Chains A and B, each alone.
Chain A
Amino acid sequence: MNPTPLARFRWPLLALPHARVELSRHCVRRRAMHALACGFLAMLLANVALAMLAESSLWIRDPIYADRQNRLSRIERALLPGSPVPMFLGTSRVGNGFDAKRSGERLSQVLARPAAAFNFGVAASGPILHRVYLARLLAEGHRPPLLLIEVLPASVADLPNGPLEALFVDGSRFVHAELDTLAAYGMPRSQLHHKWRETMISPWFALRFPLLGRLFPSARQPHLRHDEGRTADEHGWHRIMQEVLTPQSFALARERTLRDYTAILNDWHPSEAAGHALRDTLALAQTHHIPVALVLMPEASWFRELYSPAARKRFDRWIRALSRDCACPLIDARTWVPDEQFADGHHLLPGGAANFTDRLTDEVLLPHLKALPGGRP
């Protein structure tokens, strides 16, 4: 075969006239030097710019938080000034279990005035992250009329390798001023600072997942997109897609739950650092005159059996003491939902979320909001 036809083929759109000026050797070398210098400067500039942007805006650094906070602001702006927007700060259990839109509609209906609720449930969070989130929310000017804070027993357990949250959270999600706060609650200081430094030295690499999650979400696997805040509904509820579970998927979910939680819950002991973070969160809210309540989210009966009797006793004693010391009511919702309405023993299916939301709204949110000045219609 003649190998030349492709070479002879002219691509009209790509055809450019040949360079007419023959550059001297000296010019070519100078151009090379300038190109390398410009490349170095451009790289430096791009890194500095992104690092500064990341340090000044959580939109890049912590999209999971920033997206939820934006939604909360939108909801608050859409309501009349002074309209109540109670908020539920928690983990993925809250994320899946509290249908804040449904709750808000019920609140508006009963109170006969505009009201909403917001679900600030973030997966793999815990008291330390909640402490940071609350500080950020207060700095942004949010003042919910009631703040519900979930206490996830596993996240306040004393574990040999530090808080449970440390497994999922790294320093790249925080601005520098927050690192010491996190370290004070037992998060590994050097690891936090190392990750944060990476985002300063090479932000295009260290922040690639949140950045790409924003620019081209489809280019990344779902767990690397950092888009939980965007995939939830406008009120922050993360609805589980299945309505009911097949026996196979339930068996798989149960197996995963048992693997993840049996050891932690069977020998539960309170973590001093996590308890400290929780107390500080409550104190912070109270300093800003925000009423707070602690919530124990629903658990399936077989999940509740993962606690040994001694561990259950210890946890109950600990949470009651905390509630008493901090003057916060404790809402024990562990038995509110029947077993078949859980996806894996502790995350609620949509039916379970509706049940839980209705009861929480009727028994906790409405009485509290009605008691506020101007609360009753």
Chain B
Amino acid sequence: MSLSLFATATPAEAAALAAAPRYFQWLHEWLPAPFFHTQAFLLFFAVVFALYWSIPRRWQMARVWLLVIASFHLYAAWSFQLAFLVTATTCADYLFGRAMATTSRQRLRRVLLFSSIGMNLGVLAYFKYRGFFLNELYDILARLGYNPSFVQLDPLTLIVPFGISFYTFEAISYAVDVYRRKIPAEKSLPRFMLFILFFPHLVAGPIVRAGDFLPQTRRPKRWNWLRAQVGVQLFLMGVFKKLAIADRMAVFSDPVLANPDGFGTGTCWLAVLAYSIRIYCDFSGYTDMALGLAHLLGYRLTINFNMPYIAMNVSEFWRRWHISLSTWLRDYVFIPLGGSRGGRWATCRNLMIVMTVGGLWHGAAWGYVLWGVAHGLMLVTHKLFRDSCDHRPRLRAALESPAGTMGRVGFTFLCVSLCWVLFQPDLSKAMEMYRQLFAFHSGPAFTLSKSGLWATAGFVLLCHLLVRSGAWSRLYARLPAPVLGTGYAFCLCTALLLAPDAGTTFIYFQF
């Protein structure tokens, strides 16, 4: 089986690899990138899994070290320099935390907190936002008639560490929680390193909190078949979502998003539908795999998705979509800004700030920023509308009727889907796409039959209904073990059968 690596190395990555020691070059050849559904990763995981469970239970620290070393190697196989960088910043965060715990001087604690946040955001800004801001500054200066003394940066010459946005937020939340005395500073360096570097969540989340994760590192793990079953089930579900749904939808959405001018309006709308399904199944599929792998090693990570496309409004959407990020933004940005305590307009302002930060967090491009702004505007509009509904009982009753509820779900899905068009680095393509969506003209359709798209959309909807109605959990409880086992095999075979010719990388890996 060669579910091989799909990401192509940029010139900068290739140059960094060429300069790496032989050991890391060999590691890279063997395990080119930390994608969970590749043959190389599965082999890597099988080795780690076997070693992990063969270590006696009472040697919990040895297991922690094993996972830290494995996580480091997984990252170093992609880029050894950046693996050392992540490890170094993790050690620094550990020291900041320890220092905060050992002093009671509030001022010093505050300095340490800001030092930790500054270091993490500095590294994030340097690697992820340097090119974007410098290039924008260059353009502005050039437009104003100045001759900038620096050159524009080619994005291909920049290496952005995998998962930098995720582990930066984890480190910041740890520092803030320690500063607030919500959690004690971790005394054990390996345990703290495992919190940041644990490979299932290292590259694309979910964003774990120290309060949830660190206690788990202290508990000796006992092999549990039920947990293993949950892990396998989640992993298979993730593989299925990625290979059988997300990558199939990419076949419909990607050509249209790359060249909206070449397609008719109807096709563009279908591409938006396909992209919405793709982005959800891609990211939630990755998260399911991460959760499943963590369960197989005896760890529980935060749930990141809860059927976001059946949300009845955009506020609810954000309670169901990328939950670990939205709760992080709520706890560490929205509430410190004043949350909803300062009246209507202050709340709206805070919502806009939070969502713009959320957009920028996703990527250093105007498309992502505008996506965040659009969601901020939708949240503000929803808040104002909800407040106005309080004085209109008949409208409220109509909206809460079954038809009104369906309408709200549909409208929320439509708004969210239209916003996904912005969710790409090239803003001009997004604008072109909007023009095509609303200009109503005919043009070429997909090269593939649309029935595949409709069938997949119908399948996703059916799964949502089954789970939402509770029928699935009731059915699941009654299924005999052989049926369940055969279902796992069927799920995996179908995912493999539907896998694309040259797969796509995970969308959220770039963040």
Residues of A within 8 A of B (CB): 1-3, 5-7, 9-11, 14-19, 23, 28-43, 45-46, 198, 201-202, 204-206, 208-209, 211-212, 216, 218-222, 224
Asked if residues B1 and A6 are in contact (CB atoms below 8 Å), the reply is: no
Pairs across A and B, CB under 8 Å, 15 listed: A5-B400, A5-B405, A6-B310, A9-B405, A14-B469, A16-B474, A23-B477, A28-B226, A32-B229, A38-B482, A39-B486, A198-B1, A209-B501, A212-B498, A218-B451
Q: 6 new A-B pairs (CB below 8 Å) besides A14-B466, A40-B485, A219-B449?
A: A3-B316, A30-B225, A39-B486, A43-B489, A201-B1, A224-B501
A-B pairs, top 5 by smallest CB distance, nearest first, are: A38-B485, A34-B481, A42-B489, A39-B488, A39-B485
Known contacts: A35-B484, A38-B484, A38-B486. The answer to whether A212 contacts B225 by CB under 8 A is no
Docked pose: A206 CA to B4 CA in angstroms: 12
Tell whether A42 pairs with B310 under 8 Å between CB atoms, given A11-B465, A16-B471, A205-B3. Answer: no
Within 8 A of A (CB), among B387-418: 389, 396, 399-402, 405, 408-409
User: How far apart are the CA atoms of A41 and B290 in the complex, in Å?
Assistant: 24
Q: Is B448 an interface residue (CB 8 A)?
A: yes
Report the Cα distance A219→B248, complex, angstroms.
Answer: 9
Residues on A with beta carbons closer than 8 Å to the beta carbon of B106: none
Q: How far is the CB of A38 from chain B (nearest CB, A)?
A: 3
Question: Given the complex, which residues of B lie within 8 Å of A212, measured CB to CB?
Answer: 497-498
Residues in B neighbouring A2, C-beta threshold 8 A:
400
Given contacts A16-B474, A31-B481, contact A205 B316 (CB under 8 A): no
Closest chain A residue to B404, Cβ basis: A5
B251 and A221 form a contact (CB under 8 A):
yes
CB distance from B23 to the nearest CB of A (A): 26
Instruction: Give complex CA distance A296, B405 in Å.
Output: 70
Interfacial chain A residues near B1, Cβ < 8 Å: 198, 201-202, 205-206
Chain B residues with CB under 8 Å of A220's CB are 448
Q: B451, B488, B497: which contacts A35 (Cβ < 8 A)?
A: B488
Return the contact of B232 from the options A30, A36, A202 (Cβ within 8 A).
A36
Which of A39, A43, A222 is the one whose CB lies under 8 Å from B484? A39
Q: In the complex, what distance in Å separates the CA atom of A32 from the CA atom of B471?
A: 20
Which of chain A's residues have a CB closer than 8 A to the CB of B493? Answer: 43, 46, 204
A335 CA / B389 CA spacing, docked (Å): 82
Residue among B386, B466, B468 with the highest chain A CB neighbour number at 10 A: B468
B488 touches A42 (CB 8 A): yes
Q: Does B499 belong to the interface (CB within 8 Å)?
A: yes
Inside 8 A of A1's CB, which chain B residues have their CB?
Answer: 312-313, 386, 389, 396, 399-400, 408
Q: Does residue B496 face the partner (Cβ distance < 8 Å to A)?
A: yes
- The reply to whether A202 and B496 contact each other, CB–CB distance below 8 Å, is yes
Nearest residue in B to A31 (C-beta to C-beta)?
B481
Task: Report the Cα distance A198→B496, complex, angstroms.
Answer: 13
Is the beta-carbon distance between B497 and A204 smaller than 8 angstroms? Answer: yes
User: Within the assembled complex, what's the spacing in Å between the Cα atoms of A10 and B471?
Assistant: 10
Q: Which of B2, B310, B447 has the most CB of A within 10 A?
A: B2
Task: Say yes or no: B447 contacts A10, CB within 8 Å.
Answer: no
Q: A218 to B325, alpha carbons, bound, how many Å?
A: 38
Q: Are A14 and B485 neighbours in the complex by a CB distance under 8 Å?
A: no
1/0 per residue, CB under 8 A from A, across B454-477: the answer is 000000000001101101001101
Closest approach, in angstroms, between the C-beta of A194 and any C-beta of chain B?
9
Q: How far is the CA of A212 from the CA of B226 in the complex (A)?
A: 34
Residue of B nearest to A7 (CB): B468
Contact with A along B20-55 (1 / 0, CB 8 A): 000000000000000000000000000000000000
B452 at the interface (CB under 8 A from A): yes
Q: Are A6 and B468 in contact (CB under 8 A)?
A: yes
- When C-beta atoms are compared, the residue in chain A nearest to B382 turns out to be A1
Tell me which residues from 482 to 511 in chain B have a Cβ below 8 Å from any Cβ of chain A.
482, 484-490, 492-493, 496-499, 501
- A205 with B499: CB separation less than 8 A: yes
A42-B486 in contact (CB<8A): yes
Q: Please report the C-alpha to C-alpha distance between residue A352 and residue B151 in the assembled complex, in whole angstroms.
A: 58
A209 to B396, CA, bound (A): 52
Residue B143 interfacial (CB < 8 Å): no
Residues 233-263 of B at the A interface (beta carbon under 8 Å): 248, 251
B484 contacts which chain A residues (CB < 8 A)?
31, 35, 38-39
Closest to A33 in B: B225
Query: Are A32 and B226 in contact, CB atoms less than 8 angstroms apart?
Result: yes
A51 to chain B, nearest CB (A): 12
Is there contact, CB below 8 Å, between A198 and B2? Answer: yes
A224 to B452, CA, bound (A): 15
Of B3, B248, B386, B488, the most chain A CB neighbours within 10 A belong to: B488
Which of B420-478 touch A at CB < 8 Å? 447-449, 451-452, 465-466, 468-469, 471, 474-475, 477-478
Q: Known contacts being A28-B226, A204-B497, A208-B497, is A34 close to B478, with CB within 8 Å? A: no
- Is there a chain A Cβ closer than 8 Å to B69's Cβ? no
**Chain A residue nearest to B462 in the complex (CB):** A14
Nearest residue (CB) in A for B482 is A38
Are A15 and B488 within 8 A (Cβ)?
Answer: no
Query: Within the complex, what minimum Cβ distance (angstroms) separates A217 from chain B?
Result: 9
Please give, as numbers and ranges, the residues of chain B lying within 8 Å of A3 by CB-CB distance: 312, 316
Query: CB < 8 Å: which of A9, A34, A222 contacts B482?
Result: A34
Interface contact B228-A32, CB-CB below 8 Å: yes
**Chain A residue at smallest Cβ distance from B399:** A1
Question: In whole angstroms, what is the CA distance A5 to B398 when docked?
Answer: 12
- Select from chain A the residue with minimum beta-carbon distance to B231: A36
Q: Which residue of B lies closest to A218 (CB)?
A: B449
A262–B495 CA distance with the chains assembled, in angstroms = 42
How far is B312's CA from A219's CA once the two chains are assembled, in angstroms?
A: 32
| Nearest-Cβ distance from residue A23 to partner chain B, whole angstroms | 8
Q: Given A1-B408, A39-B488, is A221 in contact with B226 using a C-beta cutoff of 8 Å? A: no
Say how far A42's CB is from chain B's closest CB, in angstroms. 4
Contact A35–B465 (Cβ < 8 Å): no
Within 8 Å by CB of A19, from B251, B400, B477, B489, lies B477
CB nearest to B477 among chain A residues: A19
Residue of B310, B484, B490 with most partner-chain A CB within 10 A: B484
User: A9 to chain B: which residues have CB within 8 Å?
Assistant: 402, 405
B471 A208 Cβ-Cβ under 8 A: no
Alpha-carbon distance between A208 and B497 when the two chains are bound, in angstroms: 5
B471→A11 contact, CB < 8 A: yes
Question: With a CB–CB cut-off of 8 A, which chain B residues contact A201?
Answer: 1
Residues of A within 8 A of B451 (CB): 218
A43 with B488, Cβ < 8 A, contacts A14-B465, A36-B228, A209-B501 known: yes
Would A29 and B475 count as touching, CB distance under 8 A? Answer: no
Q: Which residues of B contact A40 (CB under 8 A)?
A: 485
Q: Within 8 Å of chain A (Cβ to Cβ): is B224?
A: yes
User: Which one of B248, B448, B497 has the greatest number of beta carbons of chain A within 10 Å?
Assistant: B497
Q: Please, how many angstroms separate the alpha-carbon atoms of A23 and B468 in the complex? A: 23
Contact (A218, B452) CB under 8 Å given A1-B386, A38-B484: yes
Is A34 touching B400 in the complex (CB atoms < 8 A)?
A: no
Q: CB-CB < 8 A to A35: which residues of B?
A: 229, 481-482, 484-485, 488
Knowing A3-B312, A204-B496, A208-B498 are in contact, say whether A16-B475 is a contact too (CB < 8 A): yes
Q: How far is the CA of A220 from the CA of B493 in the complex (A)?
A: 17
Q: B304: shortest Cβ distance to chain A, in Å?
A: 20
A211 touches B497 (CB 8 A): yes
Contact A19 B474, beta carbon cutoff 8 Å: yes
